[in-house]
Structures are given as C-alpha cells and as structure tokens.
Structure 1
Amino acid sequence: MSKTNNKVSPDLDTPTDLSPDGVKKVSEALNVLLADAFALYLKTKNFHWHISGRHFRDYHLLLDEQSDQIFATTDQLAERVRKIGGTTLKSIGQVAKLQTIKDNNENYVPPREMMRELMQDNKHVAAAMRKAHDVCDEAGDVASASILEVFIDETERRTWFLFEATRQEGSNAA
C-alpha cells in the first residue's frame, strides 16, 4: 500500500543511530538539493543543446562536462537519504514541487546570458548546500555533511568556470 505522507514504510525504514527528527530534517534538505540537481542538470543540458555562436565548441563542451558532473550528484544524494532511513524523490512532479532553480523555457537565450544564468544557479546551489550542511551538522550526520563539502567545492568550480567564460576581454569584472 502506498503512503502519501512522510512516514517511512517499515520495509524501507533503514536502521540508523540518527534521531527520527534528524533523519526527517536531513532527508528534507537533501531532497531539495536533489530536486535542484535535476533541475540544474536539465537546464544545463538545455543550454548545451541550444548554444550557438563563435564560442560554440568551448561552451558546448563546458556545459556537457558540467551537466555530467551535476547528474553524478543525484544518485549520491538520493542514496544518502535512503542510507539514513528517509525516502527520496519518486517523480518529475515531486522534483517540480521541490526545486528552487527556475526553469528557462525561452526559445532563444544568447550564449553569455546562458552562462551567467547558470553561474547564478550554481551560486544558489552552493548556498543551499551550505544550509543543508548546517542541518546535517545539527543532526550529527557527518557522512552527509562530508558529501556536501565535496559537492560545494565542485559547484564553486562550475561557478568559477562560468564566470570566467562570461568575462569581457580586457575586463577585470564580469
């Protein structure tokens, strides 16, 4: 029988020494990050597929690399939720409900605007990961916090690359 509330089925209730409240809070925080990872992955792929212009090859390859990296986080986030006894995302509808990254459905976005939008989205994700890290710390979940530390570094690297890709030649600022 399917459950529509947040109560975990006994068959999925993985043993953990984290408190039930800690599991709930960490699972909620990680599920928002997971939804954002899916949203950012799809947006990055969208821009990868629709990039044009004189920097096409460089941007196309950069966005492909970044989308692969973002997608690689999804399984680790979801499995972390399960390891502590929580439940994770089950549908695109749930992703849409939880995501904080805004979709971009425009027919055409200039390449520099694509890069800048993704840069801002990655900055947003890094900030959200820091907040989730605090939740993990409060719950005593060092493993989830450790995973987030690596993901924060990767996210900051993506932000940096996107920033550098959008700098004007001869300019010290974007």
Structure 2
Amino acid sequence: MEKEKTVTRQTTNVKDICYIAIFTAIIAIMAQISIPLPGGVPLTLQTLAVPLAGIILGAKRGTLSTLVYILLAMVGVPVLAGLSGGIGVVFGMTGGFILSFPIMALISGLVSDKGVKSPIYWLGLLGGVIINYIVGTVWFVIVADSTFAVALGACVLPFIPTAVIKLVLSGILGDTLKKAMHKANLL
C-alpha cells in the first residue's frame, strides 16, 4: 500500500512538472506574438497566456509556470517579448507587469472552477488584470521616475480595449480547454 502511494505521488509530481514546463513554454511563445498598435507600443499575447495557465492548470501549477517563466527570464533566457531576457529587463520599466504575472495566474486559478457562467469567474479574471495593471503602472512610475498621468497614458489607456478582448478570450478558451482536458483525463 505504501509503495502504491509513492508511485502515485511520483507520477503526479512528474505530471505536474510537465504541465508547468509546457505552460512556461506556451507563455514564452505567446510573448513573441506581437501586434503593432497605434502609438508604437506593441501588444503581446503573454497576458493572454498567463490567465490561461491559471485557468487550465489551477492556482498552484499555473502560478508555478509563471514563476519558472520569470526565473528563466531573470537568468537571461530570451523568453520575454522580442526574445529578450535578463535581470535588467525583468526589473526594467515594464518589470512590474512581468513580476505580477504569478498573482494574475493565481487569481485565475482560484476562480477557474466557477466556470464561464459565474460572475465570480469573470470578476476574478478582471481582478487579475487590474492587479497586473496597478503593479505595472506603479512600478513604471517608480523606475521611470515618471508621473502617474504619463504612466497611465503609456501603460494603461492604449491597452484597455485589447485587455478586455484578451480577458474574454482567456476566460472562454481557458474554460473550454480545461473541460476538454478533464474529459480526456489529461488533468
């Protein structure tokens, strides 16, 4: 009986590591998908991938996948947008957005069992996005020695429409994929 528990625990741990690694790679790949926007600041899809990690993998594994992503970036692996990496980028002007990814994934994971029909689900996803913007904007103000008004104009206002689109996409896609993976006994 004890041996059976050990085998199950090891299998689960290997499975967890694989899912975390796969989602870390998905976040890195989606960070490279860049859509130019008016004003010169491109939109990347990593902020679509981060809540997906939480929704599909759950709070623990989703958060861990974002932490691994950040650690890879910090040691210089080019996983960030534009194939960049390094501690200078992670702690640069937009570092607050990156460093708040684990919170975003955690919140998405915590509400993921509610499903798309629940207001709690959508409020949780929105809360994760809002925290990402607050941390990122405050970080920008401090690091760039900027004003809050300039930070809002550079970091928030141009991205509100696409943030709403990504929130809806991640919510619907994440719930659909999670259900399909459960049905296929993959989660």
Q: What TM-score do you get using the length of structure 1 for normalisation?
A: 0.32
Q: Which has the higher contact order (CA 8 A, sep 6+)?
A: 1
Greater helix content = 2
Q: What TM-score do you get using the length of structure 2 for normalisation?
A: 0.31
